[in-house]
């Protein structure tokens, strides 16, 4: 197909990678924004989710949060932050993306901590552990797999969503696509789409490997089995 | 005299630019309504087509474990692709039309629906299926009169999630000029950060999603009268 040839030609031209606002510069921008957003979401979502799960309160809140966040268009939040005094640019994008990344992290952390066997908690209490020790030494290792699932879901979603920043004059790899549409250069559009899709899939695979490596206890190969339904429903993210 | 006015104050700050403005909605109703209509049409179309495609796929995936792997794996892959890239993949084929948006949206809703349909069908107890078989039910009749009703809670949950996320995703269609209420969001952004227009589009999307969710919840309640007493 002719378009595919155009896309390959675009990707094959070193100048398209190295020039100002080329693929490499946009990729770095994209990854910096994404990393900041995920770290911010983890800083908020993990402690709050752990506390809610530990005390067993606020479960309805956690689920409602993830449901409501699904109904808010990412584009809307990106635009709304861009017209506040924050102004459009990397800051507005990062804040908007972090807000969307909090629900999956929080909900999965909550479910992870909530799902810890009550017998284990009681046994560790009986062994004389303080509340903090129970939280950090008994519940945290057992909640880690689901927590990592949440972080992975959030990270993949953020990397995907960061492309939308280009619609409201933000940075990131989405620019290749929006610019291609404006110049009616569909080869560039396709090339941009390929780069963005590859980045999203790579992020998913990389994080699956990372969470597999740092999960304590019995290892099971990621993707080999469908995740438990309850957890999957609670933490499922919306496509962006 | 021109420079005196423009050195300190930007037009954005000087002109009143409220977040909420009812007069914007009433004054531009004639241009908002077609966008709202397109938004609803795209959402309903995507979820309907997604349902029609997801149901046979879920049946196929249930039939054999060999098919379930590829179906679920492929749907995970689709789910990972960012929406902007998805529309960019489709646009060279179908051009700057609403069809481009529709195809992308169908693919996403398909993924959500297949998973929930499959989970629902798999949750039907084997005893119930055998009892239906023992009573002389054929395959089709077992499916429609026993399995689908029992899978309804999961099916309706899938439809609700798919509908709500589709309403939100339609906005990304602005890239090909068919984003429904998303047109207001980017339109306001382009019109010197006109906040009333942006907020109208954003709130419109959220309200539409909420309304659709409530509607489907009501339909689900009406279709499964037997689960009402047990819930509380």
Domains of chain A and CATH, by start: 2-114+143-235 (1.10.3720.10)
Q: Is residue B6 part of a domain?
A: no
pLDDT for B49 beyond 90? yes
pLDDT for B190 beyond 60? yes
Task: Grade residue B139 by pLDDT with cuts at 50, 70 and 90.
Answer: confident
Min Cα separation A129/chain B (Å)? 37
**Cα separation of B120 and B156, whole Å?**
10
- The Cβ-side half-sphere exposure at B75, using a 13 Å CA radius, reads 24
Which stretches within chain A are classed as H helix?
2-12, 14-18, 23-55, 59-71, 74-82, 90-114, 118-126, 131-133, 140-161, 174-182, 186-214, 229-235
Q: Are B167 and B43 in contact (CB under 8 A)?
A: yes
List the single residue in A83, A204, A223 with the smallest CB-CB distance to B198: A83
Q: List the CATH number of the domain containing B33.
A: 1.10.3720.10
* Whether A168 and B189 lie within 8 Å, measured CB to CB: yes
Q: What integer pLDDT is reported at residue B1 of this predicted model? A: 43
Among residues A164, A194, A199, A165, which one has the least CA distance to residue A10? A194
Q: What integer pLDDT is reported at residue A226 of this predicted model? A: 43
For the record, the structure tokens of B111 come out as 């993924």
Please indicate whether residue B167 or residue A1 has the higher confidence score (pLDDT): B167
* Whether A164 and B176 lie within 8 Å, measured CB to CB: no
List the single residue in B85, B186, B213 with the smallest CB-CB distance to A177: B85
**Cα separation of A189 and A7, whole Å?**
8
Size of interface A-B (CB pairs under 8 A): 151
Q: What integer pLDDT is reported at residue B211 of this predicted model? A: 93
Q: What integer pLDDT is reported at residue A240 of this predicted model? A: 59
pLDDT tens by residue, A17-71: 778 788 888 888 889 999 999 999 999 999 999 988 888 887 788 778 877 888 8
Q: Are B200 and B25 in contact (CB under 8 A)?
A: yes
pLDDT for B169 beyond 60? yes
Q: What integer pLDDT is reported at residue A219 of this predicted model? A: 60
Task: Grade residue A184 by pLDDT with cuts at 50, 70 and 90.
Answer: confident
Q: Is A225 near chain B, with CB under 8 Å?
A: no
SS3 A222: coil
> What's the average model confidence in pLDDT over B16-45?
85
Q: Is A49 near chain B, with CB under 8 Å?
A: no
**Cα separation of A179 and A194, whole Å?**
15
Q: What integer pLDDT is reported at residue B13 of this predicted model? A: 59
Mean pLDDT of chain A: 81
> What's the average model confidence in pLDDT over B145-152?
90
Q: Residues of A with CB below 8 A from B182's CB?
A: 73, 75
SS3 B102: helix
Q: Is residue B231 part of a domain?
A: no
Please indicate whether residue B211 or residue B80 has the higher confidence score (pLDDT): B211
Task: Grade residue B4 by pLDDT with cuts at 50, 70 and 90.
Answer: very low
pLDDT tens by residue, A198-239: 998 898 889 888 888 877 666 655 554 444 444 344 445 556
Among residues B230, B61, A57, which one has the least CA distance to residue B221? B230
pLDDT for A152 beyond 80? yes
* Whether A223 and B76 lie within 8 Å, measured CB to CB: yes
pLDDT tens by residue, A106-122: 988 998 888 888 888 88
> What's the average model confidence in pLDDT over B191-217?
88
Q: Is B114 near chain A, with CB under 8 Å?
A: no
Q: Are A116 and A142 in contact (CB under 8 A)?
A: yes
Residues whose CB falls within 8 Å of the CB of residue B92, separated by 6 or more in sequence, listed in order = A3, A186, A189, A190
Question: A78-92, A226-240, B168-182: which has the highest mean pLDDT?
Answer: B168-182
* Whether B88 and A190 lie within 8 Å, measured CB to CB: yes
* Whether A73 and B205 lie within 8 Å, measured CB to CB: yes
Q: What integer pLDDT is reported at residue A46 of this predicted model? A: 92
H or E segment at B189? helix B182-190
For chain B, the domain total comes to: 1
Min Cα separation A136/chain B (Å)? 32
> What's the average model confidence in pLDDT over B121-149?
90
Quick one: DSSP state of residue A226?
P
* Whether A186 and B172 lie within 8 Å, measured CB to CB: no
* Whether B85 and A193 lie within 8 Å, measured CB to CB: yes
What ipTM does the predicted assembly reach?
0.74
Q: Is residue B40 part of a domain?
A: yes
Q: Are B114 and B57 in contact (CB under 8 A)?
A: yes
Place of tokens 């080999």: A224
Mean pLDDT of chain B: 84
Q: What integer pLDDT is reported at residue B79 of this predicted model? A: 81
Q: Is A19 near chain B, with CB under 8 Å?
A: no
Place of tokens 């067993």: A56
**Cα separation of B7 and A239, whole Å?**
44
Q: What integer pLDDT is reported at residue B14 of this predicted model? A: 63
Q: Among A161-175, B15-29, B39-53, which stretch is predicted with the lowest mean pLDDT?
A: B15-29
Q: Is residue B11 part of a domain?
A: no
Q: Is residue B77 part of a domain?
A: yes
List the single residue in B79, B119, B182 with the smallest CB-CB distance to A239: B79
Q: Is residue B8 part of a domain?
A: no
Q: Is residue B21 part of a domain?
A: no
Q: Among A64-78, A144-158, B111-125, B142-156, which stretch is predicted with the lowest mean pLDDT?
A: A64-78
Quick one: DSSP state of residue B15?
S
- What residue numbers bound the domain in which B127 lies? 26-221
| Nearest chain B residue (CA) to A154 | B80
Q: Is the dihedral of CA B15, A72, B34, B21 positive or negative?
A: negative
A residues 187..206 contacting B (CB < 8 A): 189-190, 192-194, 196-197, 200-201, 204
Q: Is residue B1 part of a domain?
A: no
Place of tokens 């449901």: A67
């Amino acid at each position: 197909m002719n378009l595919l040839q155009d896309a390959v030609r675009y990707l094959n031209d070193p100048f398209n990678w190295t020039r100002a606002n080329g693929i490499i510069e946009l990729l770095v921008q994209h990854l910096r924004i994404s990393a900041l957003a995920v770290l911010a979401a983890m800083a908020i979502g993990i402690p709050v989710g752990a506390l809610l799960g530990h005390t067993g309160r606020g479960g309805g809140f956690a689920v409602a949060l993830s449901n409501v966040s699904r109904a808010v268009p990412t584009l809307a939040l990106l635009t709304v932050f861009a017209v506040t005094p924050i102004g459009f640019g990397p800051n507005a994008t990062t804040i908007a993306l972090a807000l969307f990344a909090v629900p999956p992290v929080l909900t999965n952390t909550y479910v992870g901590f909530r799902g810890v066997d009550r017998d284990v908690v009681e046994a560790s209490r009986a062994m004389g552990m303080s509340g903090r020790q129970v939280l950090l030494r008994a519940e945290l290792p057992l909640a880690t797999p689901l927590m990592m699932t949440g972080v992975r879901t959030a990270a993949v979603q953020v990397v995907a969503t960061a492309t939308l920043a280009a619609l409201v004059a933000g940075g990131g790899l989405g620019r290749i696509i929006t610019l291609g549409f404006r110049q009616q250069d569909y080869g560039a559009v396709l090339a941009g789409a390929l780069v963005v899709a590859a980045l999203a899939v790579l992020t998913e695979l990389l994080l699956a490997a990372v969470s597999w490596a740092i999960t304590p206890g019995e290892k099971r190969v990621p993707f080999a089995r469908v995740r438990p339904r309850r957890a999957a429903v609670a933490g499922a993210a919306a496509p962006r | 005299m021109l420079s005196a006015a423009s050195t300190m104050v930007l037009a954005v700050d000087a002109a009143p630019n409220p977040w909420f403005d009812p007069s914007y909605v009433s004054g531009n109703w004639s241009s908002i309504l077609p966008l709202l209509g397109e938004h609803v049409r795209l959402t309903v179309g995507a979820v309907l087509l997604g349902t029609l495609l997801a149901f046979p796929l879920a049946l196929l995936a249930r039939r054999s474990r060999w098919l379930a792997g590829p179906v679920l794996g492929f749907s995970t892959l689709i789910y990972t692709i960012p929406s902007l890239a998805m529309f960019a993949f489709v646009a060279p084929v179908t051009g700057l039309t609403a069809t481009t948006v529709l195809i992308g949206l169908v693919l996403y809703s398909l993924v959500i629906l297949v998973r929930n349909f499959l989970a629902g069908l798999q949750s039907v107890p084997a005893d119930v299926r055998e009892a239906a078989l023992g009573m002389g039910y054929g395959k089709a009749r077992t499916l429609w009169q026993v399995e689908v009703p029992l899978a309804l809670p999961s099916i309706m949950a899938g439809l609700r999630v798919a509908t709500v996320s589709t309403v939100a995703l339609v906005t990304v269609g602005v890239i090909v000029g068919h984003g429904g209420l998303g047109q207001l969001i980017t339109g306001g952004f382009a019109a010197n950060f006109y906040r009333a227009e942006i907020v109208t589009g954003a709130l419109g999307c959220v309200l539409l999603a909420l309304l659709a969710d409530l509607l489907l919840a009501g339909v689900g309640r009406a279709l499964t009268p037997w689960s009402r007493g047990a819930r509380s």
